[in-house]
Structure formats: C-alpha cells, structure tokens
Amino acid sequence: MKNNFNVLCEYLKNILVQDERTYLFIADGLESYVLQDFKKTCPKEVLPRIINVGISEQNAVSMAAGLAFGGKIPYVVMFAPFMTMRAAEQIKLDMCYSNANVKLVGTNAGFYGTSLGGYSHCALEDIAVFNALPHVQVYSPSPNEDEFKIILNNAHKHNGPVYIRLNAAEAEFDNKNYDVKHQKISEVIKGKGIAIIATGYAVEMAKLFASKIPSKMSVYSAHCLKPFDEDGLHNIIKHHKIIFTMEEHAAGGLGSIVSTIIAKSGAKVKFIPVYSNSDNYNCVIENRENIYQRFLMDLNSFVQKYINFVVNKKVLFFKRQGKVDAENRVMTSYKIFGIPVLKKCPRYSLKKWRPRNNYYLFSIRII
C-alpha cells in the first residue's frame, strides 16, 4: 500500500517530466532516506534540474527564490526541522516577503527524533513560524491519497510560496476515503455533540480514539492551515458542544488557530486543544525501543483530557492489570484502551524510608 512519501516521489518525477520549469532541491540526508534511488529512476533529461545542495538549507531556499523570479517553479524537499529553523531568515525574506513562487516540502515533521536524531530532529514549531509570515500557504495532509494529491496539484498551480508539512510516520493509506475539498475542513467521521479537528498524522490518532469510545463523535481533517477554513469551523461550532484539536506540534499551530477563531466568534463552546508540549521532549527521547511511542503518548494525553472534561473522570475506559514476575513481585499497570498509563513495580530498598515501588508514567520513571 502507498503512503505520503510514495505519492510525493511519484508526483515529483511526473512534474519534472511534464513541466520543464520545475526544479528540485534536496539535501544529502533526504536523498538517502526519503527519495531513495530517486535519481536512478528519473529520466536522464530531468537530472540537471535535480540539485543536491548538501547540508546547506539556507542556500537551497535562496537559490530556489532566485529561480522563481526567473520564471521557474522550484521545489525544496528537506527535513522540516532543518529547513524551517535553519533557513528561517531566507524563508522570511527571499521567499515569503518577496512572494516568490517556491514550494517547500518539510518531511519528518513532529517527533522524528524519538529514537533517531533526538532533540535537534524534532519539528514542533514550523506551523507557528509559517503562520506568522505573509503570502505563504500552509498544508498538513493526513495519510489520505486523495487529500495529498489535491494539495500537491493545487500547490503547483498556485503562483506564490507554499509550505507542505509531512509527519514522520509513514502511515499507509486506508481504503476509507472521505470527501476532500481544497482548503476546506473535511469530515472524516460523522458524529454529534463532540468533534475532533486534527491535522496531519494526528487524524489517524483521532480516528483511533473515536473508534474506542461508545458515543459517536465527529472527526475532521484540517489539511489547510493557512488560509484556514473559518466558515467550515463556524459550521462545526454550530453542531457541536465540545471541540478538541489534535496535532503533532507545539502551541502556535492548529489549536492556536482554532482558539483565535472561536474567541472572535464569541461562540459558547468548550474548546480543548491537545498538542505536543515542548517540555515533553526529554520524555519522548527516553523511549529508544519504539519510534511510534510518541503517538501513544499524545493519545494518552488526549484520553486524559477527554476523561477529565467530558466524562467527569468515570472509569469506563480504565483497566487495572496485575502481573507476577519471576521473583513473585506483583507489578500493577493501569491502562486506557490497552495503552499503559501508570505502572507500579515493586523494588528492594536498603533504606526503609524510601518508597518501595518504582512508578512509571507513560513508560517514563517518575519515582
């Protein structure tokens, strides 16, 4: 099955052949990871328009802006944390302020650094950065082929700067498509009363959560963050009493955008943003065994907020499970939807005044 990275590679190959104005800038790391064997499978006539700038994101953006002013359509495909932060000034001045027709694709956004690069490879600020800059359109596609293809096609037609954000998870597309309209909030699951508006890979997290609870809740995909679909949000507000947002991004992203619109409207709706707090970087990096734990941690955070604000701390989804180890010690774990939240493990201690258990919150030892 396909995922967003597969579609991106296919699209770039086709557009390089179809439109001679198209250029592609990549970096060393991207050529070896995301666009594997990309040059080998491309027609020879397009190879001169594929430029590997090495570890030089600032130069890539400036060069792309220069080509754009010469009538070309350059794409810059690089890791989101390096492209958006290291080349922030070039993006601001050469691309956005100048309204240059450059298409940026930031890959591995979110918690890419869970078990690979660490803190430096996490991109949780990029939406906030681009939301503050002029002229640029910002997209964050979910793992949905129709949605991503619509974004790519319209981004190429748009005469101006575009930023497309791809999360690190290479989630495969499912067969359950939904009606996608360009720059509009799309309804993924129809429900009532409670709505989750998610973006990027978080749409999959929202779908997973909605499938686990007994009451039917709505799930929406906000693939376009700028310009944001305010009319679509107002329609959601009319039909729901509680609205969540879910994203793999820190404050300043989808939650901040939605909260501003709700505040301006004066609507009486309970709004609960669920985003990735930058204080959790160290907790995320602690887990070296499973890169996808970052999504479970965010899902746990969401479940906690749901229980606190919606079902008033009922234990409907809360399970306690005991296990005896080889030394006859009872380890107790508390789970929500099968996801370990709190784990208590007995330990031996020479000092009687110290606690006799180790406590782990989301697999992170806290005591």
Which domains are seen in the chain, by residue range?
4-167 (3.40.50.970), 186-309 (3.40.50.920), 318-365 (no CATH)
pLDDT at residue number 9: 87
Q: How confident is the model at residue 35 (pLDDT cuts 50, 70, 90)?
A: low
Evaluate if residue 228 carries a pLDDT over 90.
Answer: yes
Across 134-148, 309-323, 353-367, which has the greatest mean pLDDT?
A: 134-148
Structure tokens at 36: 């594997």
pLDDT at residue number 121: 78
Provide mean pLDDT across the span 277-294: 41
Provide mean pLDDT across the span 270-296: 51
pLDDT at residue number 281: 41
What's the CA dihedral at 12, 32, 138, 140 to 10 degrees? 100
Averaged confidence pLDDT in the chain: 79
Task: Tell me the pTM.
Answer: 0.78
Instruction: Compare 362 and 74 and report the one with higher pLDDT.
Output: 74
Torsion sign, CA atoms 247, 248, 253, 256: positive
Evaluate if residue 100 carries a pLDDT over 50.
Answer: yes
Evaluate if residue 131 carries a pLDDT over 50.
Answer: yes
For residue 86, give Cα distances in angstroms to 61, 106, 321, 330: 11, 12, 47, 49
Q: What is the largest CA-CA distance in the chain?
A: 75
> How many angstroms separate the CA atoms of 9 and 202, rounded?
22
Q: How confident is the model at residue 2 (pLDDT cuts 50, 70, 90)?
A: confident
Evaluate if residue 314 carries a pLDDT over 80.
Answer: no
Nearest CA-CA partner of 242 in 262, 221, 270: 270
pLDDT at residue number 301: 54
134, burial (CB in 10 Å: exposed 0-12, middle 13-18, buried 19+):
exposed
Evaluate if residue 292 carries a pLDDT over 70.
Answer: no
Lowest mean pLDDT among 22-36, 220-234, 294-308: 294-308
Give the β-pairing of 137-139 and 224-226.
Answer: antiparallel
Structure tokens at 285: 């990096």
- The percent of residues above 90 in pLDDT, for the chain, comes to 41
> How many angstroms separate the CA atoms of 127 and 132, rounded?
9
pLDDT at residue number 175: 65
Lowest mean pLDDT among 201-215, 226-240, 274-288: 274-288
pLDDT at residue number 141: 94
Provide mean pLDDT across the span 121-146: 92
Q: How confident is the model at residue 313 (pLDDT cuts 50, 70, 90)?
A: very low
Are the beta carbons of 166 and 141 closer than 8 angstroms?
A: yes
pLDDT at residue number 1: 62
Kindly report the CA angle at 75 between 69 and 80, in degrees rounded to 5? Answer: 120
Nearest CA-CA partner of 199 in 222, 225, 229: 222
Phi, psi angles (nearest 5°) of residue 18: -75, -35
Q: pLDDT per residue over 69-81, tens digit each?
A: 999 999 999 989 8
Evaluate if residue 347 carries a pLDDT over 50.
Answer: yes
